[in-house]
Amino acid sequence: MKIAILGYGTVGRGVDEIVGKHTADVEVARILELPDRLADERMTSDFRDIVEDPEIALVVECMGGLEPAHTYIIEALAAGKSVVTSNKAVVAEYFEEFASQARCSGASLLIEASVGGGIPWIASIEKVRRIDEVSSFSGIMNGTTNYIVDAMAKNDADFDEVLAAAQALGYAERDSSADIDGIDVKNKTIISACVAFDVSCTKEFPVSGIRTLTNGDLDVLRGMGRGVKLLGRGVRSDGRYAVSVEPVAVPLSSLEANVPSNFNLISLEGSTIGPLKFYGQGAGMLPTGNAMVQDIIDFANGRRPTYDFSARLAYAPELLTSDYLFRTTASLPGGEGVASGYTILRSLTSEKARELLDDALEKDPTSFMAALPQED
């Protein structure tokens, strides 16, 4: 089977390397690259060389960003060529459009690497859903933020110091806002909800990051028997669903609290299987490349996933309600003081908590918030 790779950066090179070493029946026939980087005879800067080639059955998109990735994916699917992608931003934004185009042309969209890097998360959701309804999911979906929180806690280091170290190690981009402000996890949460709940997930839901996290916050939470992790969460119940991205204060004894470095841990709950947890490397050339090649091999072996978003679920923020810890100099009426500068507000939805955080940030830009879910 002949395939084409769009983009030859970290992930594209990883896919090419793994395919060359481990898949004798798959050939990388074409690579789309910039005109001044055509260093390989397989490379072209003209997408038409790929989309109009009848021998290429599968296009592997490794470009990142929304455009031209969106246009290339749509054109490939319209031409009847299936697509493998790790691009969570473009999938989250255009998932329903891609799925519709794939159904119309008989092509397939394979997105394993878009969430969780090398963790078989999407395939596991699909497998669980053959029998069960997925009632909830939750997880550490971003290795950069997990590395930062873990290093701050273990080394008693400041946020900015650890972020700089993460950038030096290649865990964080120079512009780290997508990671530390929760945008990356938002995209992965949208994709997870679409697959787990079979719904066209709203893009308008509360998203909070860890930009203002301090060692003092970690100390206060530790005194409460908790650590903090940035989690993407989703829940489904009685024809309704809700999703959120926010720091969550998890029990120190939990698996989530003990996930180290840049690893991911994502969980789901099925109606008969119960809780399942998936742990592994969440990003990087080879873990992400591995997930993409798994999709390539699955496609070569006849796997044709489809997504139709047929569940008509109402978005219901009240399904994600918990207590919240705030650290701010702004006034928060009705709160319970637990330490100097720290207040707990009871029974807030994620949306209401985010609204209060926005108000607090206007008065105190260093304000921080974490959900305090009831311990099991």
Once rounded to an integer, what is the mean pLDDT over residues 338-349? Answer: 93
ω into 68 cis (within 30 of 0): yes
CA dist., res. 126 & res. 129, Å (int): 5
Per-residue pLDDT of 144-155, as tens digits, reads 999 999 999 999
Query: DSSP class of residue 198?
Result: -
Alpha helices for the chain (secondary structure H):
10-22, 48-51, 69-78, 88-105, 121-129, 143-155, 159-169, 177-180, 183-197, 215-223, 285-300, 350-363
More confident residue, 171 or 126: 126
At 215 the three-state DSSP class reads helix
pLDDT tens for 59-107 read 999 999 999 999 999 999 999 999 999 999 999 999 999 999 999 999 9
pLDDT at residue 286, as a whole number: 79
pLDDT at 308: 87
What mean pLDDT value characterizes the chain?
A: 94
Is there a catalytic annotation at residue 188? yes
Q: What's the pLDDT score for residue 209? A: 98
**Mean per-residue pLDDT, 56-60:** 98
Type and span of the H or E element at 245: strand 240-251
Q: Which residue has the tokens 């054109």?
A: 75
Q: Using CA atoms, how far apart are residues 169 and 173, in angstroms rounded to an integer?
A: 10
The overall pTM is greater than 0.85: yes
pLDDT value of position 174: 82
pLDDT at 173: 78
Output the pLDDT for position 376. Answer: 57
Q: Tell me the residue type at 105.
A: S
pLDDT band at 251 (very low <50, low <70, confident <90, very high): very high
- What is the predicted pLDDT for the residue at 45? 96
- Residue 310's contacts (CB-CB under 8 Å, 6 or more residues apart) are 198
pLDDT confidence of 242, banded at 50, 70, 90? very high
For residue 276, with 0-12 CB atoms within 10 Å meaning exposed, 13-18 middle and 19 or more buried, which class applies? middle
DSSP letter (8 states) at residue 117: T
Question: Which is the catalytic residue, given 188, 203, 229, 363?
Answer: 188
Residue partners of 226: CB distance under 8 A and separation at least 6 = 249, 250, 251, 252, 257, 372
Higher pLDDT, 26 or 334: 26
| Contacts of range 172-180, beta carbons closer than 8 Å, 24 or more positions apart | 172/144, 172/147, 172/148, 176/144, 179/142, 179/144, 179/145, 179/209, 180/144, 180/145, 180/148, 180/209, 180/210, 180/211
Instruction: Label residue 163 by pLDDT band (50, 70, 90).
Output: very high
| 54 phi-psi bin (left φ>0, alpha ψ -120 to 50, beta other) | alpha
Q: Is 238 helix (H, G, I), strand (E, B) or coil?
A: coil
Sign of the four-CA dihedral 10, 113, 93, 276 = negative
Q: Give the whole-angstrom CA distance, residue 369 versus residue 355.
A: 11
More confident residue, 84 or 311: 84
Q: What percent of the chain has pLDDT over 70?
A: 99
Q: Which residue, 217, 133, 141, 132, is CA-closest to 179?
A: 141
Give me the domains of the chain, ranges plus CATH numbers: 2-114 (3.40.50.720), 121-281+320-372 (3.30.360.10)
Strands (E), 69-178: 82-85, 109-110, 134-140
Residue 190 reports pLDDT greater than 70:
yes
Distance CA 68, CA 46 (A): 12
Tens digits of residue pLDDT in 258-307: 999 989 999 999 999 999 999 998 777 778 888 999 999 999 999 999 99
Looking at residue 336, what is its pLDDT?
86
What does the pLDDT look like over 315-328, one tens digit per residue?
999 999 999 999 99
Closest alpha carbon to 233 in 190, 274, 178: 190
Radius of gyration over alpha carbons of the chain, in Å?
21
| pLDDT confidence band for 142 (50 / 70 / 90) | very high
Q: What is the pLDDT of residue 259?
A: 96
